[in-house]
Each structure stands twice: as C-alpha cells, then as structure tokens.
C-alpha cells in the first residue's frame, strides 16, 4: 500500500475540545476590570443546520453560538462580536484547530461596522500553547490548547491592527475553560456532560 503524497496529513481528531452533547451545560463567571462579576450557564439545546452544515446550539436566554467540529477543525456561528467600537453580526469563525502544532496561524475575513461605516476585517488565530496544564478556579485542566485571536481592519486595502481580542484556553473533554480579554476574563466554574 502506497502512502506517497500523504506524509503531511494532520493527526486524526475526535473533536474532544467541544464535547457538546444535547443537555450538557457549562457554567462560567465573567469578571471585568471593575471587578463586577456575572455568572451564567450555557446549555447545549439542540441541533441546527446553517448553510447545509449541522451545528450544536450552545447558549442561554441572552446569547448563543452554534458550534461544529469536523476533523479537528472547530467552527462556530457567533451571534455578535464587539471590540473597540467595531461590531460584527452572525460571524462564522474557525476558532480552534486541535491537530496542528504550536505557531500555526489561520484567518477569517469578516465584515465589521464602526458607527455607520462598514469595512472588511480579518481575525487571525494563532496556536500559542498546546498540551499544557492550566489551573482555572482551583482546578487543574490537562491537555489544554491556547488560541490567541488578533483583529485587523482593512483600510485602503491594507490590514491595520486593531489589537488582540482574546486568548482562549480549551481543555480536552471540557471545551472553553478561560478567555482573557482586554476588558474582562471569563472562567469556567463547573460543567455537566450528557452522554
């Protein structure tokens, strides 16, 4: 059996960084710079199809995302993203790749608005760390992947840095365990996985 031309295939993935089964729930706390704290729980409620792709709906009464994973590539359709005056609705993002090495980068092109003006933007994702152990709220999570997300506005055809939006940490068998942003930090408190 010949393996010619297949030497650079990424390792297989079981999509363990988004264990989104119906009824599973993930509780978080969000703390802003003023130390104001908001607690919330996201629940996997149902499947939905967007542009022919099957997603899991993850959210609560005020926010939701639709998440999909295939072959180690994790995508989501987010309801809204805001950063430094820019906002974007209904974003489809590739937020994680679990089968690539540290240093791997990829980009998504988005349309953003600032005031009344719309422009194109780029979200650039970088695998910063992989297979680390991270403590969150007193619990150690193993096999963690850290992903940094930087934003760029397209001005006169050139990308102009808007800054780093977040560094997110994903735990194997758990999903998002922490997201560090300029204005706030979100950390997991507990989770319940359904079969």
- The neighbour count for residue 1, using CB atoms within 10 Å, is 2
Q: What is the span of the domain harbouring residue 67? A: 25-192
182 inside domain: yes
pTM: 0.85
19 inside domain: no
CATH number at residue 172: 2.40.360
163 inside domain: yes
Max intra-chain CA distance, the chain: 62
Number of domains in the chain: 1
Q: How far is CA 97 from the centre of its chain?
A: 10
pLDDT digits (tens, 9 = 90+) for 26-50: 999 999 999 999 999 999 988 888 8
Q: Tell me the Cα Rg of the chain.
A: 17
Grade residue 12 by pLDDT with cuts at 50, 70 and 90. Answer: low
Dihedral through CA 32, CA 108, CA 121, CA 169, nearest 10? 20
Q: Taking all residues of the chain, what is their mean pLDDT, rounded to a whole number?
A: 86
pLDDT digits (tens, 9 = 90+) for 143-187: 999 999 999 988 888 888 989 999 999 999 999 999 999 899 999
45 inside domain: yes
44 inside domain: yes
- The neighbour count for residue 10, using CB atoms within 10 Å, is 14
14 inside domain: no
**For 51, how many CA atoms within 13 A lie in the half-sphere containing its CB?**
6
105 inside domain: yes
52: DSSP letter: T
> What is the Cα–Cα distance from 33 to 37, expressed in whole angstroms?
10
3: DSSP letter: -
């Amino acid at each position: 059996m010949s393996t010619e031309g297949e030497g650079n295939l990424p390792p297989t993935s079981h999509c363990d960084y988004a264990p989104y089964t119906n009824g599973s729930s993930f509780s978080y706390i969000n703390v802003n710079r003023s130390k104001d704290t908001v607690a919330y729980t996201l629940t996997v409620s149902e499947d939905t199809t967007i542009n022919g792709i099957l997603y899991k709906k993850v959210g609560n009464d005020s926010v939701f995302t639709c998440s999909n994973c295939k072959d180690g590539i994790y995508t989501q359709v987010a309801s809204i993203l805001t950063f430094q005056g820019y906002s974007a609705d209904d974003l489809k993002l590739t937020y994680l790749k679990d089968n690539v090495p540290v240093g791997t980068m990829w980009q998504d092109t988005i349309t953003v608005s600032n005031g009344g003006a719309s422009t194109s933007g780029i979200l650039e994702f970088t695998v910063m760390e992989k297979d680390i152990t991270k403590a969150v709220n007193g619990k150690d999570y193993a096999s963690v992947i850290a992903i940094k997300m930087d934003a760029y506005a397209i001005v006169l055809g050139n990308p102009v840095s808007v800054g780093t939006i977040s560094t997110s940490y994903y735990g194997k068998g758990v999903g998002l365990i922490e997201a560090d942003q300029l204005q706030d930090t979100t950390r997991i408190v507990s989770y319940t996985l359904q079969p």
